[in-house]
Chain A
Amino acid sequence: MAHAPAADRRRERTTHPGWFLLPALVVLAVFFVVPTVFNFVYAFTDWSSFTSEINAVGFDNFTALAESGTLFSSLRITLVYAVLVAIFQNVFGLALAVLLERDTALNRIARAAFFIPVLMSALAVGYIFQALLKPDGALNDVLGFVAGRDVATPWLGDTTWTIVVVALIHAWKWMGLSMLIYLAGLKTMPEDVLEAARMDGAPAWKAFWTIRFPLLAPAVTFSVATALLGSMNGFDIVQATTEGGPARTTEILNIFIYRTFGQGLFAQATTMSLVLFLMVALLAFPVIRMLRRREEVL
């Protein structure tokens, strides 16, 4: 660059004026930042549908939620759910991408088929699986046919394992998107590296894990981060399959927020909304840094 940085910057002001940012920033400020700031205010009040007055109550909402055990159980369930979804969705997505990597006609159709759940409403997906997994549903019918006796497993009624089942459903819905992300990564690998792997004569599976998989790192980062943070903010699939049950063992934070809001307990709902915000923000800092680094590389 021939110009001094200061002169460059002055020129930028006329060629790329800051007011182009204004409309987007106004929308972000009004519809995103202000409600978030409100979150920090109203979590410390007794705002509800029962009284018209709103008074400050300090940390009462937090202590009440902590004492009833809801705060920590919801946090734990949300984290477990998010981690399970991230693992399942990415394992399935990667497996599908490797399976369907070659550009044959059959593989193209299969890729499109696995993308159909991504297009569908999560609520609809939840209802489909509720019907499939009922004690007298289709899955138990099939299992009973294979086993030769009646099977009535309550897939969505187990206090320990139902969260895993619901996470699997969530992963099923989004695995097509992860598949596409991994396919993109597999298809943009440098030719010379692959050539070296082939000359090496190593078994195919070994060559995959030692040479091709490390090259997928940016795709893994992106897909894992979006799956993890997306499922923390999940709602539809859990609502449509279990509504948080049985015995509230699948009640992730957004289900709690939805339920308490419906009961008119706005301050409690706001408090949990703030908890969700803080949890994601804490986890998001490293994630955003990774996303930005990925972007600087390209």
Chain B
Amino acid sequence: MSGATLRRRPLRERSAWSRLQPLVTVVLVTVLVGIPMWLVVMTAGKSQGEALSPNLAPPTDWQLWENLREVWERGRIPSAFAGSLLVMVPAVAGVLVLGSMAAWVLARRTGRAYAVLYAAAISGIVLPPAVVTIVLLLRQLGLAGTAAGMIGVYAGIYLSTVIFFVTGFVRTIPLELEEAARVDGAGPVKVFVRIILPLLRPVLATATILICLYVWNDVFYAFFVLGGRLDTLPLNLFQVASAGLYLNNWHLIFMYVVLMSLPLLIVFVVAQRKIISGITSGAVK
């Protein structure tokens, strides 16, 4: 059903609003999103002197390339990018695989113990992780400041989210689909890999987007776990900005913001429709 037919209203009221709505939309987008983004791009193109007090005026002399080169070195962009990927890819992949395996069994088993396990497994959605003592534990395990430690911490934080979303989804998959495969002699591993995993695609896509977003942009947990021993993009932004605010290097900070946001923005522009419909269907499922 399209929205147009749902909004049949008294004629005068409707036509007034339908003429006004596009105007309101354009104004809101311009003011609420346009102005902040404009500020970022304009400041990223300015010289240090001009960017000292960031305003909405375009740069008199575009310095995008010079600023890019300076940030590239000072912010150690290549190693930060590699570090971010090194942590994000295994963390997200691991969380999806382990989470789906657990969610499948949690959704299908009926025993009381499994209901308790499920409640415990999803409690991490709301409970905050113990950031300080994680550092202590990782030191004892010899994982402090390593990518492996960071991957484990992210997995521990976001497994609950995956288990919650996937368990809800599995319950909507008819048991008969599994039964048919079992009649053909398939064991649990085969049923999971051949039948369940392919059906989970939409919910896993949504979970991937959300968790990538959280991990890619995280600075709080990374600060505690990595402690400057491995570069990630947000950590280096934090560093550049902490030094930069002192020196008033707004042009470098915003050039860094542009560089760091570009990968996610490009993915979003390419897959925009799928992402938005994926999140909306995930939220109501």
Question: Known contacts being A15-B188, A131-B43, A277-B128, is A121 close to B99, with CB within 8 Å?
Answer: no
Fill in one digit per residue for B238-263: 1 if any A CB lies within 8 Å of its CB, else 0.
10010001000010011001001100
Which residues of B sit under 8 angstroms from A18, Cβ to Cβ?
105, 109
Considering the chains assembled together, what is the distance between the CA atoms of A233 and B28 in angstroms? 29
B123 & A257 in contact (Cβ 8 Å cutoff): no
Considering the chains assembled together, what is the distance between the CA atoms of A194 and B129 in angstroms? 43
* Stretch binding the partner chain, chosen from A30-38, A68-76, A153-161: A30-38
Question: Known contacts being A36-B130, A184-B280, A229-B126, is A23 close to B101, with CB within 8 Å?
Answer: yes
Q: For the complex, is B264 an interface residue (Cβ under 8 Å from A)?
A: yes
A8 & B110 in contact (Cβ 8 Å cutoff): yes
- Could you tell me the distance in whole angstroms from the C-beta of A203 to the nearest C-beta in chain B? 8
Tally of A-B residue pairs with Cβ under 8 A? 287
* Stretch binding the partner chain, chosen from B31-39, B59-67, B74-82: B31-39
Candidates A104, A120, A204; contact of B9 at CB < 8 Å: A204
Fill in one digit per residue for B135-172: 1 if any A CB lies within 8 Å of its CB, else 0.
01100000000000000110111011001100010001
Fill in one digit per residue for A119-144: 1 if any B CB lies within 8 Å of its CB, else 0.
11111100111111010111001100
Which residues of B sit under 8 angstroms from A42, Cβ to Cβ?
132-133, 136
- Could you tell me the distance in whole angstroms from the C-beta of B9 to the nearest C-beta in chain A? 5
Considering the chains assembled together, what is the distance between the CA atoms of A281 and B166 in angstroms? 23
B284 & A99 in contact (Cβ 8 Å cutoff): no
A12 & B224 in contact (Cβ 8 Å cutoff): no
Question: 10 tightest CB-CB pairs across the interface, nearest first?
Answer: A31-B156, A38-B133, A102-B3, A184-B280, A24-B102, A121-B217, A35-B130, A32-B156, A284-B126, A131-B54
User: In the complex, which of the residues B99, B124, B220 has the most CB atoms of chain A within 10 Å of its own CB atom?
Assistant: B220
Question: Known contacts being A132-B36, A204-B13, A266-B132, is A17 close to B155, with CB within 8 Å?
Answer: no
Chain A residue with minimal CB distance to B13?
A: A204
Q: For the complex, is A100 an interface residue (Cβ under 8 Å from B)?
A: yes
Fill in one digit per residue for B92-132: 1 if any A CB lies within 8 Å of its CB, else 0.
00100011011011101111000001010111111111111
Q: For the complex, is A247 an interface residue (Cβ under 8 Å from B)?
A: no
| Number of chain A residues whose Cβ lies closer than 8 Å to a Cβ of chain B | 106
Which residues of A sit under 8 angstroms from B99, Cβ to Cβ?
24
Candidates A107, A116, A184; contact of B25 at CB < 8 Å: A107
Which B residues have a C-beta under 8 Å from some C-beta of A? 1-4, 6-9, 13, 21-22, 24-26, 28-29, 32-37, 39-40, 43, 53-56, 94, 98-99, 101-102, 104-106, 108-111, 117, 119, 121-134, 136-137, 152-153, 155-157, 159-160, 163-164, 168, 172, 178, 182, 188, 191-192, 213, 216-217, 219-220, 223-224, 233-234, 237-238, 241, 245, 250, 253-254, 257, 260-261, 264-265, 268, 272, 276, 279-281, 283-285
Question: Known contacts being A21-B106, A298-B168, is A288 close to B123, with CB within 8 Å?
Answer: yes
Which residues of A sit under 8 angstroms from B21, Cβ to Cβ?
99, 102
Which residues of A sit under 8 angstroms from B26, Cβ to Cβ?
106
Which residues of B sit under 8 angstroms from A240, Cβ to Cβ?
241
What are 26 inter-chain pairs, A to B, with CB distance below 8 A?
A15-B108, A15-B178, A16-B104, A16-B108, A20-B104, A21-B101, A23-B102, A25-B121, A31-B153, A34-B137, A39-B133, A96-B28, A102-B2, A104-B22, A113-B29, A113-B33, A117-B36, A119-B268, A121-B257, A141-B56, A236-B217, A270-B130, A273-B130, A273-B133, A284-B123, A284-B127
Chain A residue with minimal CB distance to B172?
A: A298
- Could you tell me the distance in whole angstroms from the C-beta of A14 to the nearest C-beta in chain B? 8
Considering the chains assembled together, what is the distance between the CA atoms of A32 and B160 in angstroms? 10
A25 & B257 in contact (Cβ 8 Å cutoff): no
